[in-house]
Structures are given as structure tokens and as C-alpha cells.
Chain A
């Protein structure tokens, strides 16, 4: 027996042991435990604001940490900032790069916005609310694929996920890659940072989600269960569980300590993929944006659908809950941003 064959067998044996250990821990299901829980009741949300101004599909949005402003961008290429409360634009930043992947907002102190591009991988930063272009860092051209998502860890560090199947930790000042997280076998589509900023998770087109240790630079856990590309991922508010949304029309809740799937949120009548997920402040409600132009609200504990946010005329491409939990914003290919609660 060749060495390769032996190694393969060893790996299979280990995988089997891990699967058995997981099964042994599965002494109940989440739905069983929550069957006695009080029902949350039908959650009906109304649109409180509609932000008009985009002329094209919105691809991503993000709330500021003070929960009053958000930024969004569209393809073609414009970064918008909104004063959501008053429902108007603060500023528009037209950018040179061909496509934009995502954008977001960081701690209120320096008000940085990072935007990453699809065509020419480069990361753009900006300071201050008004439009002023600080830096376009070309060091990222060493990436082989597009950037799909990025998140600030603090004023000086950013984590990005890319279509070349890796995630990278960057140092903003020097524009260098501090650490490359390798392990996925498919394009990484999104990532989320843990509440304690020590870990982050990424979801990829290989149908797995991985938990990474930022300091050690390695993968701690891998979560399987989805049948298709994972498009969206987020942490449960206490950082002990994660939720993923996928093209297989389900969202799944994985627990980090039990190392397996707790529950899948799906229904026979839902056949389209999920583009974005977010939890409410207590974690009891899970909001997910779908390709069928709606956003569904799920009771995360009981696994049932408790509401629908309909109002968009095209795919819901992104959504976010404010950090104080007061409202949700959804962005869509119909070029509108809506704020709900």
C-alpha cells in the first residue's frame, strides 16, 4: 500500500472518529429543548425609512457603530453614506475601480470606510464623513481573486475574504499582509468577526464554514452540513454560535462548543438562496435576505418563521441590524435601502 493511500485511510479514520464524537454529543435537538418555550408571536415590521438615491443595484451595506448612519454601495461604483434618521444622503463617493465588493464602517473615532474591489483587488480607505480620498493601497494586487468581504478589527487591522479561497489579515499602515488564512477549497464569500475580536468565521463556496484564530493564524474548526455555496455568515450575539445562509435555501445554526449543526431554518416553499443574515440583539430573531425579494424573520430558538419583510422589487442583497438593535436595514438590487423595525 502506497504512503498516499495509507495517509488517506488515516485521515478517513480520524474523520469517522470525529463524526462519532459529534453524534455522541447529539443527545437532543434544539427544537426539542425549545418546545416548551414561549412562542414569540408574529413579528410584523414596517418600513420606517426608504433611502432613495442609488441609481443601480446595491451590493452591500453596513451600519456605523453609533447606529444612526450607514453606508452602502452599488455596482457601478458609487459609495453612498446616509444619515438614516433623517433619511438623506450625506455624501457620495465615486470610485475609480471597476466593481465594488463591499463596504463598511468602523469605530466612530476615525470613521474609516473600507471598500474592496472585484476587478482589480485593491482596498480603499477613507477618513471623515465627507468625501476625501486618503489612500488606495495597491499592495493587495498580490491577491489572485476578487475580494468578497472585509471587516475592521480595529483602526489598524482589517480582515478580508477573497475569491482565491483565502482570508487575509492586513495591517493598514504598512499595507502588508500580516497573516494568510488558508484552508477553504472554494471562493470565500463572506466573513464575520467574533464579539471578542479574537476569532473570525468565513463561509465559502465549498459549502463549509471555518472558525479561525486570528492570533495563531490557523483554522480551529470546520462546519459542514450545507449543500451549496455559503453566501452569508454571522455570529450569535454571545459569540458561541454562528449562523450561515446558503444557496441551498437554508440557514443553519452551528454551535462552536458542540462543534455541529443545531438547527436548519427552512421551509418547503422557500426555494431560493439566501444572500445575507443577521441576528437581533438578543439572538432570538434571525433575519435573512433572500433572492426572492423578501426578507424572512425566523425564531432562532424554535426554528420557525415568524415574519416576512416584503417591499423590495428585486433581490435583497444585504442587510444589517444596528448595534443597539433598534432597527434593520435592507439593501436590494432595486436600488433602495429600507429601514425596518
Chain B
């Protein structure tokens, strides 16, 4: 037996924990699972004080994967009522449980009663102090598997994992060594799927997959680390959890100005937002206001066909299947067919490939062409857009307004 405070100290020392609250939390978890328990309380949690705790016997450890049946619980409660000791009296919720089980097992009750009697006889033969310890350990075991109402049942599992069917470690044997012929099959435990043996085909597939992997070029860790760091640093001002947003976070102040400003229909984008368009072309394309600005700029230069093609193909990919074939024809006519009104500039290779694809239409018909145009826009149109007066004006817009308001 030992004190709660001792456990907290031990945890902090051996697991390098600085915060006592953390140690208490961890200790409570261990207690809730049933490895240690308070000797005079049904509630399994750790207190950093003079409360006495005891270790659970290995027989009762959760690592043995017990799934005790209600019959065992009934035997346990019955046994308790037979022992005339004040300290072993049933608590209210236990009395209720016993009554409920008596109704449920009405037919088997004689059997249960006999088992309980047998258990009591065995216990009487044991040494007094030993019995006291065993009793408290048994009680703690049931506190884990049939917790006090209001406590969390730590033996509960995620239903998805329950359905995983292959848990051979779960022991269906009785805590008190009783053999039950009629073990009810839980509907959740369906028979496990037979494991397929690896075939030659599987190995061939695996090998071709591995060959592909080898061909792929790995980047160095230092390089990728740098790129992740620079991304997070660039965007830190856009992360409301790290930088206070202007004017305020709507969740904190109940002031929704920020959301109104950011709303997609906003005609007056903030400087911060405009600045973001300069990070990469993807940012411009993601933001509807940015897209709009980009398009207008290109139209003013009479070179908007590339962007319009790209947007049309993006839209195509989201269309319902029945509309796809028609849209493909429309796009072809508008952008690619000889004499098209908005002819885009594709290299001959991509053009050939695309005209082949059009004969067998699908959502990805224009994929190659789109990639080519994307690269073109990135190196040419996008760079010009960032240098343009229109963009620069927006970027400085607030300042201009501020000056004019003076």
C-alpha cells in the first residue's frame, strides 16, 4: 500500500514530467484502466494526497484482455451478499445491478447461487489479511468493468475497432473458472476473413510497384525541411491561431466584420489578401476575387484565352457525367479547333495528344493541355500580372485611401 502523493512523485521523477497536473492525469489514466486503485473508494482516479492505493493483481490486469460476462458479475454480487461484513455491503448501484441480473438470469439463478456459495467456501479457507487484499483487488476489477454510474468505462472500444473481428486475445473465459456451454455469440463478432496467401501475381505487382518507387527521385531532408519551414513562416500572419486577425476573431468578440470583409463577394480586398496573391499563382486562382482581377488584367491585354481555357477545364472536371461530352465539344470549338475564336497556344505534341483524347471524351481529356497552359501562365501572364499597375494599386490601395482621407 502506498500514498497517492507517492505515486505522483514517482511518475514525475521517472517519466521526466514537470507539471504535477500532468502526472496526476497520467496516474488517473493508469488507475482508470485498473492497474492501481484506491482502497476505500469505488471511483478510480488518482489524488495527490494521503489517500491509500494498492496495486492490482496480475490476474486481473486488463492486459489479459478480459471480457467478463454478466454471469460472473452476478456471481460476484451474490457472493458479496453472503458475506456478513459491514465493509463488504453492496453500494446502491450494485444493489440495483444485482436486482436486474436476478431478473435476467431467473432460470440460471440456482446455478449462480451455488457458484457463489462455492466461492465463499474457498475464500473462508484463506488467511484473513490475504483475503482482505484479494477482496479489494476483486472489487477494483469490477470497478473497471462495471463502473460506478457517472464514471467512464475504459473498457469501451471504438465500434469500428470492434468490428475488426480479429481479436484473438480477447478471452471469453470466466473470471471464476466456470465453463459455460451456451456462450452467446455477440452479433458484432462475425467470423474472421481468411487470410489470402501471397501469390506470384502479388509478388509481380509488388516488384513493379517497388521499381516505380526506385525510379522516383527523393529530395533531401534538408531541402524539404526548408520548404516546410518557409511555408509556415510565410503564412504565419494568415494563421489566426498564431496572429491576431484584424479587426478581431469573430469567435472571441462576436463581431463578424472580419467574415464580411473576407466574404467571397467582397469588392474591396484587404491588403493582406492581395499580398497573398503574390505568393504563388495557386493563391490567385484559389481566391475568386483574385481570379477576377487576374482575368480582368489579361482581358485588358487581350490575352485572356489561356486563363479562360484553364477555368473551363477546371469546371469540366466537376460536371455531372452526362454533361461532360457536350462541354468537351464546346471547349474544343472555343479554344482548340482550327479557326477557334479564342485559340490557345499549344505545342504540337500536346495538340496531337489532345485531339486524340477528344475522340474518347472523359473528365481528363484536356489534362495534358491544361498542365501545359498552367506552366505557360505561371511563367508569363502571372509574372506580368504581379508587375501590373492594377495589382500594384490594389497592394497599395489602403495607403492611397488613407492619404486621401487626411
The interface of chain A, by Cβ under 8 A from chain B, is 3-4, 7-8, 10-11, 14-15, 17-18, 21-22, 24-30, 33-34, 37, 40, 43, 45, 48-49, 59, 67-68, 75, 85, 99, 101, 118, 144-146, 148, 154-156, 163, 171, 173-174, 187, 189, 196, 205, 215, 219, 221, 229, 236-238, 240-241, 255, 257-260, 262, 268-269, 271-272, 275, 280-285, 292, 294, 300-301, 313-314, 317, 324-328, 333, 339, 341
Contact = CB atoms under 8 A, between A and B. Distances in A.
B86 interface: no
Given A11-B206, A40-B242, A284-B236, A240 B225 contact: no
Contacts of A11: 203, 206-207, 210
Nearest first, the 8 A-B pairs at minimum CB distance are A282-B239, A282-B235, A14-B210, A7-B203, A257-B219, A154-B318, A281-B239, A284-B232
A5 B282 CA distance: 49
A281 B234 CA distance: 11
Contacts, number: 209
B241 A33 contact: no
5 contacts: A33-B222, A118-B159, A189-B160, A258-B220, A280-B239
Nearest to B258: A326
A18 B214 contact: yes
Contact of A85 (B206, B231, B250, B367): B250
B15 interface: yes
Contacts of A37: 229
Contact of B238 (A75, A282, A317): A282
Interface of B: 11, 15-17, 22-23, 25-26, 29, 152, 156, 158-161, 163-164, 193, 200, 203-204, 206-207, 209-211, 213-214, 216, 218-229, 231-236, 238-242, 245, 249-252, 256, 259, 262, 282, 317-322, 364, 367
Is chain B's interface secondary structure helix, strand, loop, or mixed overall? helix
Interface of A is mostly: loop
A292 B207 contact: no
A283 B241 CA distance: 11
A29 B29 CA distance: 33
Given A269-B17, A292-B25, A257 B218 contact: yes
Contact of B235 (A174, A281, A327): A281
B221 A26 contact: yes
A285 B235 CA distance: 12
A27 to B, nearest CB: 5
Contacts of B234: 282
Given A11-B210, A171-B321, A324-B262, A255 B238 contact: no
Nearest to A26: B221
B282 to A, nearest CB: 8
A283 B25 contact: no
Contacts of B235: 237, 281-283
Contacts of A272: 29
Given A221-B213, A268-B15, A341-B252, A27 B218 contact: no
Nearest to B162: A118
Contacts of A237: 231, 235
A29 B225 CA distance: 8
A22 B218 CA distance: 7
Given A146-B163, A269-B26, 14 more contacts: A7-B200, A18-B213, A28-B225, A30-B228, A40-B242, A68-B259, A155-B320, A156-B319, A238-B228, A241-B228, A269-B15, A282-B236, A283-B231, A284-B236
